[in-house]
């Protein structure tokens, strides 16, 4: 018996052209920015068409009582990707420049959460203990959520226990208990840089904001990142945008 599982073909009316942008002068940079915005418009239109085709496939599978999990996952990912490109265009429209996706030390994440994920750490007391960032960005729509510190507040308790040698030691237990307000990490930053960072965060388009390079670097760059939904959020990959930079002459 012939297989009747005909699927909706995902063919769009227009294929996206490659986007090899090169800018060597400020004038060329402005032109590249305009080209990026136009490309995002076309990409969003393409994603909208793709979502329509995927929904047709989902509805067909549902009508025929086939398994719909795969279709539902594809629709969700396509919707997330269209939201991603919409956020990229929003940032470009507001004048933010894309820079290489460099590692950044995140000091603010955008989230709807009211409390951090529950974690319990067991550490023997030591100086300058550090803990992993527990609060992750949620890849929200533009304008949604609030910026919080990626490092939650913790409560600490100490208990007497015995180590593997049978010696009595003090063991500390740290439990995440609350979200912290984000804090700009460089105390000596110029007021204009802090103001530019505040303006960028007020748009609530970047999923995370941080510094390129070590937090105590003499000439740090403040950058915002929009995370790619195709990558796991803990990988911190996506589109990175320049927000501000400052250099103290005495450090030259």
Helix residue ranges per DSSP H, the chain: 26-63, 69-93, 191-202
Q: Based on C-alpha coordinates, what's the Rg of the chain? A: 23
Domain boundaries, the chain: 26-95, 99-251
pLDDT per position as a tens digit, 15-74:
666 666 676 776 777 777 888 899 999 999 999 999 999 999 999 999 999 999 999 999
Where in 197-237 does DSSP place strands (E)? Answer: 208-212, 221-227
Q: Say what the pTM is.
A: 0.81
C-alpha 210: how far from chain center: 11
Cα–Cα distance measured from residue 208 to residue 198, given in angstroms and rounded to the nearest whole number: 13
pLDDT per position as a tens digit, 105-145:
899 999 999 998 888 777 654 444 445 567 899 999 999 99
């Amino acid at each position: 018996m012939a297989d009747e599982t005909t699927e909706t073909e995902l063919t769009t009316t227009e294929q996206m052209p490659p986007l090899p942008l090169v800018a060597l002068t400020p004038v060329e940079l402005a032109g590249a920015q305009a080209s990026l915005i136009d490309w995002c418009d076309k990409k969003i239109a393409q994603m909208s068409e793709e979502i329509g085709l995927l929904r047709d496939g989902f509805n067909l599978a549902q009508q025929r009582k086939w398994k719909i999990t795969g279709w539902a996952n594809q629709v969700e990912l396509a919707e997330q990707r269209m939201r991603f490109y919409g956020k990229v265009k929003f940032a470009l429209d507001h004048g933010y420049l894309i820079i290489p996706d460099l590692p950044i030390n995140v000091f603010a994440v955008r989230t709807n959460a009211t409390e951090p994920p529950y974690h319990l750490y067991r550490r023997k007391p030591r100086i300058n203990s550090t803990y992993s960032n527990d609060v992750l960005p949620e890849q929200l729509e533009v304008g949604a959520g609030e910026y919080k510190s990626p490092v939650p507040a913790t409560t600490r308790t100490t208990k007497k226990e015995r180590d593997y040698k049978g010696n009595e030691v003090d063991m500390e237990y740290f439990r995440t208990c609350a979200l912290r307000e984000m804090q700009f990490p460089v105390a000596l930053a110029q007021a204009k840089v802090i103001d530019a960072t505040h303006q960028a965060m007020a748009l609530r388009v970047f999923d995370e904001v941080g510094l390129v390079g070590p937090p105590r670097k003499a000439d740090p760059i403040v950058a915002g990142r929009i995370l790619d939904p195709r990558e796991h959020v803990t990988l911190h990959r996506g589109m990175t945008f320049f927000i501000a930079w400052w250099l103290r002459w005495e450090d030259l």
